[in-house]
Amino acid sequence: MKRYFHKELTELENKLILLGEKSHQVVQLAVEGLIENNLDKVNEAYKMDDYVDVLEMEISHACIRYMSLRGPVSSDLRLLVVALKASKDFERIADEAHSIAQKSYRLLTTEGSLKNTLNLSEMGKLVCELVNDSISCFVKEDIDKAFLILKRDHEIDAINQKHFDILSNEAFRDEMSDAARFDLMLISKSIERIGDHAKNIAGGVIFLLNGDQ
Amino acid sequence: MNVNFDIQEKQAQPTKPPKPVIKTKDLDFAYGDSQALFNISMDIFKKEVTAFIGPSGCGKSTLLRCFNRMNDLINSANIKKGTIRISDIDIYNKDVDVIELRKHVGMVFQKSNPFPKSIYENIAYGMRIQGVKKRSELDETVESSLRGAALWDEVKDRLNKSALGLSGGQQQRLCIARTLAVKPKIILMDEPCSALDPVATAKVEELIHKLKKNYTIVVVTHNMQQAARVSDRTAFFYLGRLVEYETTEQIFMNPKNSKTEAYVSGRFG
């Protein structure tokens, strides 16, 4: 029997998907702006963060309200727990993207453009895919895709480690200023953190679908 | 991916202030020497569901029964002080016709109490004693009342069978249909689901939710989950006093009074 308040759960799911899409959009703009030396995209990514924060707060409130008033159990309760955690992850993803945009702006306006020494393009593409997949595995209830995200996160970790090794190498010092190297290291770290958040969301989807913690 | 993007565009709409239909002011009520209600002041709002919660003996049913003067049937019961106004009429004024009042303010009880008559006659009874004889008018009201109580589809083929053959949940919805037949504006429900199983309870709760579009409903319940699920506002009573009366969201998410907090979180007593 469908109860009148079950539509609140559907609204919550829609809002979570919307938050995911917005977070993905911020990441894509920030990463593409950096790789394509495109200040417009960087600026757009920088501006989008506030809306994501508002959505995250609305989702948290809706989850707590539903838990307080509707007495959810089983898969409904799991959905609320996952929505609470995933919304926080999406919000953090957007925060990291915001931070990437901030540093990219500084880099692009001071250094002009990026050298191709780093593998930021592949790393950025990979993380955008993971964020997108984390949303679609939730929407399509695709547990296989969720498990795949857990595996693919290691690829990003490995690239980040490589970037760290390159940027901390003495030989790279002549290529750019210390400040620029430091910004690039932080950008790489932010992308790696975004991958971690996508992995957390995938873990949440697995918990939602099969109840395993 | 089908996502409802409408929520992006949603703007805060100015909400109309709710309109009070029952105004209780400084009410003291006693059964003989034993005072049951102390200085109760509260407004019940139009087309909302208001839940009364509190431990046994806190006065919630007593107050509910004051709203249609059911307490008049108890000799020792008396209002010592205060007023209750419904649609701006003092219902304890000596000129008030109690029968008219009870048509305006219907009541559903804890235990379903269908008459030992057919399903049809249970609904038609109230109208017959009001003098309605026309069969088509009776038929129309029986159907609309049963539809209003979400029971029509289940009983339309056996309207002439005894109401006592219905399940407990159906009997309770029949009693709600019987209340609707006399076209009240307010419906009082005194623990309407306490004798029902979870499925029948869910159906009655769905019905309450549907009915609030057209009626003002006050429900007394011991089931706090039910109060949280069905009501717009909740009043918590303790030892005859109104401790806290707020939106249901406020009462269950962040009550102001520590007694309310203890009661809704099960730490009471």
DSSP line for B12-74: PPPPPPPPEEEEEEEEEEEETTEEEEEEEEEEEETT-EEEEE-STTSSHHHHHHHTTTGGGGS
Give the closest of B4, B203, B228 to A69, CB-based.
B228
Residues near B195 by Cβ (< 8 Å), separated by ≥ 6? B110, B111, B112, B168, B172
Buried-exposed string B103-129: b where 16+ CB fall within 10 A, e elsewhere: bbbbbbebebebeeebbbbbbbebbee
Taking contacts as CB-CB distances below 8 angstroms, the residues of chain B near A14 are 3-4, 7
Show residues of chain A in contact with B7, CB under 8 Å.
Answer: 11, 14-15, 18
Whole-number Å distance between alpha carbons of B37 and B235: 14
The H or E element that residue B90 is part of is strand B89-90
Cβ <8 Å between A18 and B205:
no
d(CA B229, CA A11): 17
Q: How far is B226 from chain A (nearest CA, A)?
A: 9
- ipTM score assigned to the predicted complex: 0.79
Q: Which of B82, B102, B99 is nearest to B90 (CA)?
A: B82
Mean pLDDT across A153-157: 93
Task: Select the residue from B2, B3, B254 to test the A interface by mutation, using most A Cβ atoms within 10 A.
Answer: B3
Reported as a single tens digit per residue, the pLDDT across A83-136 is 999 999 999 999 999 999 999 999 888 877 666 667 889 999 999 999 999 999
- Contact state of A71 with B228 under an 8 Å Cβ cutoff: yes
Residues of B in contact with A67 (CB under 8 A): none
pLDDT at A213: 65
* A-chain residues near B209 (CB < 8 A): 4
Count of domains forming chain A: 1
Token readout for A143 is 């547990």
Instruction: Decide: B101 and B188 in contact? Cβ < 8 Å.
Output: no
pLDDT at A13 over 90: yes
* CATH number of A109's domain: 1.20.58.220
State how far residue B212 is from chain A, nearest Cα, in angstroms.
Answer: 13
Q: What is the pLDDT of residue A194?
A: 97
A68 has pLDDT over 70: yes
Residues of chain B with pLDDT under 70: 1-14, 269
Enclosing domain of residue A20? 2-210
The pLDDT mean for chain A works out to 92
Cβ-Cβ pairs closer than 8 A, A with B, add up to 46
Q: Left (φ > 0), alpha (ψ -120 to 50) or beta: where does A152 sit?
A: alpha
Residue A69 and residue B248: Cβ atoms within 8 Å?
A: yes
Looking at the predicted structure, is the pLDDT value of residue A160 above 80?
yes
3-state secondary structure chain A: CCCCCHHHHHHHHHHHHHHHHHHHHHHHHHHHHHHCCCHHHHHHHHHCHHHHHHHHHHHHHHHHHHHHHHCCCHHHHHHHHHHHHHHHHHHHHHHHHHHHHHHHHHHHHHHCCCCCCCCHHHHHHHHHHHHHHHHHHHHCCCHHHHHHHHHHHHHHHHHHHHHHHHHCCHHHHHCCCHHHHHHHHHHHHHHHHHHHHHHHHHHHHHHHHHCCC
Q: What percent of chain A is predicted at pLDDT more than 90?
A: 75
Give how far Cα B170 sits from Cα of B114, B156, B215, Å.
10, 13, 20
**Shortest distance, CA A45 to any CA of chain B (angstroms):** 18
Cβ–Cβ below 8 Å for A68 and B199 = no
